[in-house]
Amino acid sequence: MATQVRSHKAQKVLDRLSKKLNRQMVGSMIACVHCGMCTESCHYVQTNPDDPTYAPAYKADQIRKIFKRHHDWMGRVFPWWVHAKTILTDEDLEELKDIAFGKCTNCRRCTINCPMGVDFATVNRMVRGLLVHVGVMPEGVSVVSKDQWEIGNQMGVLKEDYIDTIEWMEEELQDELEDPEAKIPIDKPDCDIVYTINPREVKYDPRTIADAAKIFYYAGANWTMASEGWDMTNFGLFSGDDDLGGTVAKRVYEKVQELNGKMLVISECGHGYRSTRCEGPNWGGVTLPFDSESSVDTMLRYIKEGKIKVDKTKNSTPVTFHDSCNNARSCGLYEEPRELLNLVCSDFREMYPNRAENYCCTGGGGAMSMGEYTPRRLKSAEVKANQLRETGAKIVITSCHNCVDGLNDLIKHYKLDMGVTQLVNLVAEALVPPEKAVPAQEPKAAATLKGYKILVVDDEPDTLTYLTTVLEDNEATTLQAADGATGIELAKKEKPDLITLDISMPGMDGGEVFARLREDPETRMIPVCIVSGKPELRGLIYDKPHRPPEGYLDKPVEEETLVLNARKILELARKQN
């Protein structure tokens, strides 16, 4: 009988598996009794009740069978008796990839519902790491990992863009507070706080940086941001790559030490908090000589110590709170955000279940970067959508940037009438200025878009009208294009100062339009801001070998956000010219 030869990759996976096993992992491999108690704890199962391949124990078994075949005595001697099986081909690895990346968000909900203490999420992460080691992974995981290895942050934000954004936010802060001394310090040594952020804040949500700065300003904090090692997110958590995890975490730690910072504060991000606060020292094999905490703790402490004053009536819209899996189930951070919420908003409604038992936003485990699994993700999101709907809230708060994206996406998909925001925004909104800071003079008129010509390219008539109206209300001159070809034509002819571009359009999609604009010497330098309702299509833009777009906004986009971002892009472009 011919023996099938094992592929090189499959062999490497088996070799590495032996190195990665620790006692806890082996325990999870051998302790499952196939009782099925964990089945319904998984959001994938709840939304695919007729498909047993989503059951946590089934998914775990696809990994377990390899372990059994190579490490367990029964599996070695009587493999058929315990369903032990080896891996031979690259197709076997692809099947594993589909499970490890496409059918589990590593949310750990099954873990806390298993009577045996089987930690499938941790096993699944290990398998991701084995696959990544041999290059078997979704495209998005590869792109993001590469950015984090090479550029130092997972969204490929260049240092100059990061610094520009911080300076821009500093200007916003000074305008708002009418204090030219209001600063966002960079690389200030010997501070009490070194504040680290998610690159998503730089790229899509700079308001959170300004809001945090405002809180630090009111609290009189001695704080700084860092010019390097500022990204507290860590794709190593999602890709299962401990080497990446350790390297990224150490970049942050080393910068804090270099600046002689006393405390590392991690802005609101579930996986960032877990990676930087909890797993990083383990991956990197380091013991930290400084303290670290979530910005949620910092804000709560400031209120409790009377360093900032808040007025909860300023946030009266009904809100609910979504627990990030990494915060709640892996780091125990679930009471603090609630305590803070109750201090800064007047109508907080719990969703059910909550705290460590809350459901995943379905965008966890790096799912937002894996476009190929989007239909599955959105289907499984029905559980979360129902939870949200039940609350009757108009805003869902979450302490995680990943969850913001995941929730935004499902809210749109399930047509829920609510928005998503973070605690930092609510706290900043609720701040009561200290006596001395109350401005005596009339507030300055808000800056406008006067003198700028902006081309809006979008196939949805309502969006086209909305965007142009907002821009015109802010004194910009606008041009409209309802399809890609017209957009390109108008861009060449009118040479606008900025183009807002939808991705999903019939005919020529936004990715194609973007590529042509960047390739044409006449339009190459025109700044582009993507305005899209389909985050899963980001790859169409970001995977292109061109200079990335100057901005990215999720639909539905609020007026303030649109104007703020348009102004930022235009001002940066003006400075660069």
Interacting residues with ligand SF4 (CB under 6 A): 32-38, 41-42, 44, 56-57, 59, 104-110, 114-116, 118, 120-121
Identify what 44 binds: ligand SF4, another protein, none; CB under 5 to 8 Å per kind. Answer: ligand SF4
Establish if 31 lies at the interface with another protein (CB under 8 A).
yes
When binding is defined by CB under 8 A, the residue of 190, 220, 260, 282 that contacts another protein is 282
> 362, 406 in Cβ contact below 8 A?
yes
Query: Which CB atom, from 45 or from 132, has the smaller least distance to another protein?
Result: 45
Helix (H) or strand (E) holding 371: none
- Binders of another protein among residues 321 to 380 (CB under 8 A) are 328-335, 349-358
Establish if 23 lies at the interface with another protein (CB under 8 A).
yes
* Length, in residues, of the chain: 577
Identify what 491 binds: ligand SF4, another protein, none; CB under 5 to 8 Å per kind. Answer: none
Residues 6+ positions from 159 with CB-CB distance below 8 Å: 227, 228
Helix (H) or strand (E) holding 193: strand 193-196
> 399, 324 in Cβ contact below 8 A?
yes
Identify what 105 binds: ligand SF4, another protein, none; CB under 5 to 8 Å per kind. Answer: ligand SF4
Identify what 217 binds: ligand SF4, another protein, none; CB under 5 to 8 Å per kind. Answer: none
Minimal distance in Å, beta carbon 257 to another protein? 16
Residue 292 burial class via C-beta count within 10 angstroms: exposed 0-12, middle 13-18, buried 19 and up: buried
The piece of 45-53, 94-102, 168-176, 501-509 that touches another protein (CB under 8 A) is 45-53
| Local structure of 454: helix, strand or coil | strand
Query: Which CB atom, from 72 or from 205, has the smaller least distance to another protein?
Result: 72
When binding is defined by CB under 8 A, the residue of 17, 96, 114, 403 that contacts another protein is 114
Full strand arrangement of the beta sheet holding 551-554: 477-481, 453-457, 498-501, 528-532, 551-554
Query: Which CB atom, from 29 or from 166, has the smaller least distance to another protein?
Result: 29
**C-beta atoms surrounding 71 within 10 Å:** 17
Distance CA 296, CA 314 (A): 19
* Angle between the N-to-C axes of helices 56-71 and 90-102, in degrees from 0 to 180, rounded to the nearest 10: 140
| Local structure of 399: helix, strand or coil | coil
**C-beta atoms surrounding 356 within 10 Å:** 17
Minimal distance in Å, beta carbon 266 to another protein? 11
- Binders of another protein among residues 286 to 305 (CB under 8 A) are 286-288, 291-292
Identify what 81 binds: another protein, ligand SF4, none; CB under 5 to 8 Å per kind. Answer: another protein
Query: Which CB atom, from 419 or from 434, has the smaller least distance to another protein?
Result: 419
Query: Which CB atom, from 185 or from 419, has the smaller least distance to another protein?
Result: 419
CA-angle at 130, arms to 129 and 135, nearest 5°: 90
Q: Can you list the alpha helix ranges (DSSP code H) found in 261-324?
A: 270-273, 280-284, 295-304
Minimal distance in Å, beta carbon 26 to another protein? 5
Residues 6+ positions from 113 with CB-CB distance below 8 Å: 37, 38, 41
Beta strands in 387-476 (DSSP E): 395-398, 419-421, 431-432, 453-457
Minimal distance in Å, beta carbon 358 to ligand SF4? 12
Query: Which CB atom, from 64 or from 214, has the smaller least distance to another protein?
Result: 64
Query: Which CB atom, from 218 or from 334, has the smaller least distance to another protein?
Result: 334
Minimal distance in Å, beta carbon 363 to ligand SF4? 12
The piece of 37-45, 155-163, 299-307, 436-444 that touches another protein (CB under 8 A) is 37-45
Query: Which CB atom, from 72 or from 502, has the smaller least distance to ligand SF4?
Result: 72
